[in-house]
């Protein structure tokens, strides 16, 4: 051991333990940084989770409530049967949804309801538009407009006068842009004169004093825009027709009302006090989402005349906000007012049933074979590799498999009716869930101590008896937990279902009865309906109801997971 004779190569330092050296302080600082980085990473991720959940809850919960107009709905025989006399169920079935229902029953009922409540429809609308016009003029400094509009015989006359003045100003701007100074002066004076004639003396003076070559100064006054806008606003009330009135409420495509009448023709001629959903765009106004947004920034399709009426209805207590029960029973529809997740819940339940039966039976059987009976050879090794890989195959590949099976079966003559059935969807999801269940079951079987198997075999049980009588019951809680987790995963899978046509199955059969369907009928499912809602044309549906549907789905998922946790806690056995 002469190697050890090398003292001095490493100098022994004498230093006090009680004081930290600068180097150690620096090293600890580096450590603190790592610690903080880790802490911030987790905080960031948890914040993301919080924001995610908050964005769902804060949008999804309010969307579960719906504004409804309380209307005296009169099933007017005059509308339903223009020829007079009784109408048969069959005749009702052929009435045009648009003219007969939307334009007919709903509009006239809404009108009479409003009038009964003491709301002057035309007056309310034109007052709001007049106020709008005055506001526009005031903003441009054209004061005293209310007297001018009041002085005109009709709002239309006032609109014409204002429009003419606006044109005069525009002509003046154009002329002052040109090279001809005389023409510019003439046009300017004409504009000033027009303003003066209307009664805007101050504005007229201002226009008259503008340098004829300075068209920009005239444009800057904003008179032209204000006058044109005001004229436009004053013309609006005349265009407020039945269509505008009825589009406050959801009166389009009321197939449901027609079906109700077909089933119950006695309703014709009666009046029913009922809540009719407010149009989904108007809902945004009611929920205050658009408060503080100027008219110009309003989304397209908004008519402030409608909003004036809505305000009046709120004042008259004709609008209520109630829970959207029908969301849980209705089928999916393009119209946010009546859309729902009823068949989707049923379809998902059917599919989970298929997954449960198929993947539990086959998964457990496969696990028992691999864990207990399989000889260790190439074949079983190959099965193991296959299962491990299936667990990591992207879900869309399973969807492609489903689509290929679908196309092949269709080619083979099964007809397109198998597209989007719960059975096909369930089978595809089962294949995806199989590896999860196999892995969980094998772990559960492994956890049963070999002593139990030895004991059973020792008293003369056959291997099959040992497995089915002793191991399987002891492994059952673990298998169950794995199955529930697998089903929870399958419940949220979207891509494979889209590919086998669940998103398009919104057939007539589904529309007529919310809970129809079976394993062999076209189905809807929660994730695909969430997808459809998220692609809807109306922002309130995309941002509101889609979140409500997600909320329902997440509640189901959490319930399943909590069930799994409870089972695990309750039956957990330590050997």
Q: Write out the binding residues for another protein, residues 352-371 only, by CB under 8 A.
A: 361-363, 365-366, 368-370
Which string of x and - marks every residue 510-539 that binds another protein (by CB under 8 A)?
Answer: -----------------x--xx--x-----
Query: Which token pair is 551?
Result: 């909320």
Applying CB under 8 A, does 405 fall inside the site for another protein?
A: yes
Nearer to another protein, 50 or 455 (CB): 50
- What is the 3-state composition of the chain as percent helix, strand, coil, each rounded to the nearest 5? 70, 5, 25
Question: Half-sphere exposure (CA, 13 Å, Cβ side) for 494?
Answer: 11
Nearer to another protein, 304 or 484 (CB): 484
Applying CB under 8 A, does 561 fall inside the site for another protein?
A: yes
Nearer to another protein, 503 or 524 (CB): 503
Applying CB under 8 A, does 415 fall inside the site for another protein?
A: yes
| CB of 409 vs another protein, minimal distance in Å | 8
Which string of x and - marks every residue 422-451 that binds another protein (by CB under 8 A)?
Answer: ---------x--xx--x-------------
Q: Residue from 353, 554, 563, 567 that binds another protein (CB under 8 A)?
A: 554
Which string of x and - marks every residue 39-68 that binds another protein (by CB under 8 A)?
Answer: xxxx-xxx-xx-xx--xx------------
Q: Residue from 135, 141, 269, 492 that binds another protein (CB under 8 A)?
A: 492
Nearer to another protein, 56 or 219 (CB): 56
| CB of 498 vs another protein, minimal distance in Å | 5
Applying CB under 8 A, does 88 fall inside the site for another protein?
A: no
Nearer to another protein, 277 or 399 (CB): 399
Query: Which token pair is 485?
Result: 């987790």
Nearer to another protein, 495 or 563 (CB): 495
* Separation CA 252–CA 326 (nearest Å): 17
* Separation CA 151–CA 154 (nearest Å): 9
Applying CB under 8 A, does 416 fall inside the site for another protein?
A: yes
Binders of another protein among residues 304 to 363 (CB under 8 A) are 361-363
* Separation CA 230–CA 223 (nearest Å): 10
Of 182-190, 231-239, 261-269, 497-505, which segment contacts another protein by CB under 8 A?
Answer: 497-505
Helix ranges restricted to H, 293-421:
304-315, 342-368, 378-392, 395-409
Nearer to another protein, 21 or 322 (CB): 21
Applying CB under 8 A, does 94 fall inside the site for another protein?
A: no
Interacting residues of 365 by C-beta distance below 8 A, sequence separation 6+? none
Interacting residues of 404 by C-beta distance below 8 A, sequence separation 6+? none
Backbone torsions φ then ψ of 379, nearest 5 degrees: -65, -50
Among the listed residues 116, 118, 134, 115, the one whose alpha carbon sits nearest the alpha carbon of residue 126? 134
Question: Half-sphere exposure (CA, 13 Å, Cβ side) for 45?
Answer: 5
* Separation CA 157–CA 515 (nearest Å): 58
| Residue 478 CA from chain centroid, whole number | 37
Nearer to another protein, 307 or 498 (CB): 498
Helix ranges restricted to H, 410-543:
422-447, 450-458, 463-466, 472-492, 495-499, 508-512, 526-534, 539-540
Of 15-23, 62-70, 107-115, 448-456, which segment contacts another protein by CB under 8 A?
Answer: 15-23
Q: Residue from 404, 455, 555, 559 that binds another protein (CB under 8 A)?
A: 404
| CB of 392 vs another protein, minimal distance in Å | 4
Q: Residue from 75, 240, 327, 398 that binds another protein (CB under 8 A)?
A: 398
Binders of another protein among residues 267 to 286 (CB under 8 A) are none
Counting runs of H as helices and runs of E as strands, what totals does the chain give? Answer: 27, 3
Among the listed residues 138, 127, 64, the one whose alpha carbon sits nearest the alpha carbon of residue 339? 64
Q: Residue from 102, 229, 337, 543 that binds another protein (CB under 8 A)?
A: 543
Query: Which token pair is 226?
Result: 């204000």
Among the listed residues 534, 494, 563, 561, the one whose alpha carbon sits nearest the alpha carbon of residue 55? 534
Which string of x and - marks every residue 192-231 that binds another protein (by CB under 8 A)?
Answer: ----------------------------------------
Q: Residue from 292, 294, 413, 460 that binds another protein (CB under 8 A)?
A: 413
Among the listed residues 331, 356, 367, 475, the one whose alpha carbon sits nearest the alpha carbon of residue 426? 356
Of 218-226, 274-282, 475-483, 540-548, which segment contacts another protein by CB under 8 A?
Answer: 540-548
| CB of 529 vs another protein, minimal distance in Å | 10
Applying CB under 8 A, does 547 fall inside the site for another protein?
A: yes
Question: Half-sphere exposure (CA, 13 Å, Cβ side) for 418?
Answer: 18
* Separation CA 341–CA 550 (nearest Å): 11
Question: Half-sphere exposure (CA, 13 Å, Cβ side) for 377?
Answer: 4
**Binding footprint of another protein, residue count (CB under 8 A):** 114
Q: What is the DSSP string of 63-74?
A: HTEEEEEEEEEE
Query: Which token pair is 282?
Result: 């108007």
Among the listed residues 317, 292, 297, 295, the one whose alpha carbon sits nearest the alpha carbon of residue 306? 295
Of 238-246, 274-282, 381-389, 472-480, which segment contacts another protein by CB under 8 A?
Answer: 381-389
Applying CB under 8 A, does 250 fall inside the site for another protein?
A: no
Applying CB under 8 A, does 459 fall inside the site for another protein?
A: no
Of 235-243, 259-267, 554-562, 567-575, which segment contacts another protein by CB under 8 A?
Answer: 554-562
Query: CB pairs under 8 A, 24+ apart, for 341-345?
Result: 341/526, 341/529, 341/549, 341/552, 342/514, 342/515, 343/510, 343/514, 343/515, 343/516, 343/517, 343/523, 343/524, 344/524, 344/525, 344/526, 344/528, 344/529, 344/549, 345/526, 345/552
Q: Residue from 10, 83, 296, 378 that binds another protein (CB under 8 A)?
A: 10
Is residue 237 within 8 Å of residue 129, measured between CB atoms?
yes
Binders of another protein among residues 18 to 37 (CB under 8 A) are 18-21, 23-24, 27-28, 30-32, 34-35, 37
Q: Residue from 225, 290, 353, 409 that binds another protein (CB under 8 A)?
A: 409
* Separation CA 110–CA 112 (nearest Å): 6
Applying CB under 8 A, does 469 fall inside the site for another protein?
A: no
Applying CB under 8 A, does 487 fall inside the site for another protein?
A: no
Q: Residue from 152, 443, 557, 563 that binds another protein (CB under 8 A)?
A: 557
Is residue 339 within 8 Å of residue 348, measured between CB atoms?
no
């Amino acid at each position: 051991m002469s190697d050890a004779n090398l003292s001095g190569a490493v100098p022994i330092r004498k230093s006090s333990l009680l004081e930290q050296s600068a180097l150690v302080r620096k090293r600890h600082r580096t450590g603190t940084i790592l610690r903080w980085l880790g802490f911030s990473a987790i905080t960031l991720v948890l914040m993301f989770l919080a924001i995610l959940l908050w964005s769902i809850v804060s949008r999804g919960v309010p969307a579960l409530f719906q504004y409804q107009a309380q209307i005296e709905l009169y099933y007017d025989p005059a509308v339903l049967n223009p020829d007079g006399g009784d109408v048969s169920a069959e005749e009702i079935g052929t009435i045009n949804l648009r003219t007969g229902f939307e334009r007919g029953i709903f509009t006239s009922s809404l009108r009479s309801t409003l009038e009964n409540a003491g709301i002057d429809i035309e007056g309310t609308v034109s007052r709001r538009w007049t106020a709008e016009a005055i506001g526009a003029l005031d903003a441009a400094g054209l004061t005293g407009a209310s007297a001018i509009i009041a002085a005109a015989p009709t709002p239309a006359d006032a609109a014409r006068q204002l429009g003419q003045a606006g044109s005069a100003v525009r002509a003046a701007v154009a002329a002052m842009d040109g090279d001809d100074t005389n023409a510019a002066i003439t046009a300017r004076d004409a504009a000033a004169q027009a303003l003066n004639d209307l009664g805007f003396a101050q504005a007229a003076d201002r226009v008259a004093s503008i340098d004829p070559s300075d068209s920009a100064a005239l444009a800057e006054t904003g008179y032209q825009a204000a006058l044109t806008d005001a004229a436009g606003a004053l013309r609006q009330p005349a265009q407020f027709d039945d269509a505008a009135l009825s589009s406050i409420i959801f009166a389009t495509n009321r197939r449901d009302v027609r079906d109700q009448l077909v089933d119950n023709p006695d309703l014709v001629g009666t009046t029913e006090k009922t809540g009719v959903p407010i149009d989904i765009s108007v809902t945004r106004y009611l929920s205050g989402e658009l408060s503080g947004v100027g008219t110009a920034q309003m989304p397209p399709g908004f008519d402030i005349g409608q909003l004036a009426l809505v305000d009046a209805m709120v004042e008259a207590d004709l609008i209520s906000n109630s829970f959207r029960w029908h969301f849980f029973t209705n089928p999916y529809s393009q119209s946010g007012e009546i859309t729902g997740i009823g068949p989707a819940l049923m379809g998902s339940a059917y599919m989970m049933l298929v997954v449960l039966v198929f993947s539990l039976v086959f998964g457990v059987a496969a696990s028992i074979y691999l864990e207990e009976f399989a000889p260790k050879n190439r074949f079983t090794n190959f099965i193991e590799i296959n299962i491990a890989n299936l667990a990591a195959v992207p879900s869309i590949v399973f969807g492609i498999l489903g689509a290929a099976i679908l196309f092949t079966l269709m080619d083979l003559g099964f007809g397109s009716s198998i597209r989007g059935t719960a059975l096909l969807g369930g089978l595809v999801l089962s294949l995806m869930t199989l590896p999860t269940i196999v892995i969980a079951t094998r772990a559960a079987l492994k956890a049963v101590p070999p002593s139990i198997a030895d004991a059973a075999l020792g008293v003369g049980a056959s291997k099959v008896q040992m497995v089915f009588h002793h191991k399987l019951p002891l492994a059952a809680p673990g298998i169950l937990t794995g199955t529930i987790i697998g089903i929870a995963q399958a419940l949220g899978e979207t891509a494979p279902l889209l590919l086998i046509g669940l998103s398009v199955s919104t057939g007539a059969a589904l529309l007529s009865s919310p809970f129809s369907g079976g394993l062999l009928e076209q189905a809807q499912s929660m994730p695909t309906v969430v997808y459809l809602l998220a692609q809807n044309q109306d922002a309130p549906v995309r941002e509101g109801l889609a979140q409500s549907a997600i909320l329902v789905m997440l509640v189901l998922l959490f319930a399943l997971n909590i069930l799994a946790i409870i089972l695990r806690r309750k039956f957990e056995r330590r050997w």
